[in-house]
Structure 1
Amino acid sequence: MTRPRGNRHRLRGVVVRDKADKTITIEVVRRFRHPRYGKMVRRHSCIAAHDETNDARVGDMVEIVSCRPMSRTKRYRVLQVIERSVVQQLVGQPPDRAEAEANEKPGAPAPAPAAEPTAGVSEPAAEAPAPESTEPTPPAGAQEPTEPSDLTDENTEPPAAT
């Protein structure tokens, strides 16, 4: 007659590493009251777990359950992925048109739709306006020095140290 297994130890945590094949590392956070000072203290443990389907990704909240030793460090296996990370949900989805327009700079011309090329006829590309410089412009009568001799005065000496 076989005995029932009983309740296995279950933990929840966030996946922090998923580079190895069928292995993920989970950070499990535990909170407890400090015995002397009474302040709530957070401690974390990193646990290696077996992920048979390679389903969990970094940032996912997963539930793991204890099992027989799978390797030298793996003593848990993934029971389920509770919550997907926000980054994984956004990957592969086209951006909303409203978000794309909000990201564009105001006053910038909208990109023209791509037209089919015509054979033998080429139109010159429209030039974008030059960006305005933030440097102050010199007065109309002033000349900029062009040679190194114009930049320094050869007759002057550095002030003497006192």
Structure 2
Amino acid sequence: MNQAQPHKRIIQGKIVSIAGDKSAVVLVERKVVHPKYRKIVKRFKKYTIHDEKNQAKVGDEVVAIECKPISKTKSFNLKDIVSVGV
């Protein structure tokens, strides 16, 4: 039988702060249609990600992938740095 990899969520966002050693906070923006007014509005959510090598800096655009829970709030690992911020 073929071993299928389980579906893991991938998030992309901007790092807004470094939350201690090997941790960073990523702000993810998504656009949704308002149910009543039919206007596109922005929704934001912050995720704490695990950065094993402490390579991400504030302002970087990063991609993170879901993993098993590392702590109470961390369940994403840093996958890739898309662009370096200022």
TM-score range relative to shorter protein? over 0.9
- Structure with higher Rg: it is 1
Determine the C-alpha separation between the residues in 2 that align with 1:81 and 1:44: 20
Structure 1 residue 6 corresponds to structure 2 residue 3: no
The structure carrying a bigger strand percent of its residues is 2
- Helix, strand or coil for the counterpart of 1:27? strand
The amino acid that maps onto 1:55 is: Q
- Preserved CA contact (<8 Å) 2:19 2:25: no
- Give the stretch that moved more between structures: 3-12 or 57-66: 3-12
The structure carrying a bigger helix percent of its residues is 1
Please report the TM-score for the alignment, with normalisation by the length of structure 2: 0.92
**Alpha-carbon RMSD:** 1.5
- Preserved CA contact (<8 Å) 2:11 2:64: yes
- Preserved CA contact (<8 Å) 2:9 2:66: yes
In structure 1, the gaps of 5 or more residues are 88-162
State the aligned residue count.
Answer: 86
> What stretches of structure 1 move > 2 A for 4+ residues in a row?
1-7
Larger relative contact order (C-alpha < 8 A, sep ≥ 6)?
2
In structure 2, the gaps of 5 or more residues are none
